[in-house]
Amino acid sequence: MKESTTKDYKVINEEIFNPIEKKKKVQHYTCTGIISDINPDAVFADGFDAAIIGYDANCTVVYDYDKCMKILMERDSKTEHEAHEYMEFNVVGAYVGDFTPIFIHRLD
C-alpha cells in the first residue's frame, strides 16, 4: 500500500509542478493547437492563422501585422490601402476580452 501511495504522490506532484512538461510530450501540427493547449481561453483572429508568430508572457496570440495585410491583399483582393483600413478598423481596433490578440510591426 505504501508503494501505491508514493506513486500517486509522484503523479500529483508532476501535474502540479510540471504542467507544461506534460504538454511538451504531445505533438502539434499547428500554431493554434500549441497555443490552445497552453491557454484554452486564447482568442484567434479568424483567417489569419498563417500570420501567427507566437504568444506573449500572458499566452496571448501574437500576429505579424504585415503578414495579415498580405493575407488580406492576396485572399480578398484588397489594395494596400483597403487592407490597412480593414486591419485598423475591424481587427486591431477590436477588443474581444482579456486575451485579445496582439498585432505587431516587425523590425526585421
Residue 41 is which amino acid?
A: D
Average pLDDT value for the chain: 84
**46 CB-side CA count, 13 A:** 3
Express each pLDDT in 37-46 by its tens digit: 999 999 999 9
What is the per-residue pLDDT across 8-17, written as a single tens digit (0 to 9) for each?
555 545 555 5
d(CA 20, CA 2): 28
Residue 28 to residue 11: CA distance in whole angstroms = 24
Whether 85 shows a pLDDT value over 70: the answer reads yes
Instruction: With beta carbons less than 8 A apart as the criterion, state whether 38 and 15 touch.
Output: no
Cα distance between residue 15 and residue 106, in whole Å: 36
**Confidence (pTM):** 0.73
For 84, the grid coordinates are 490597412
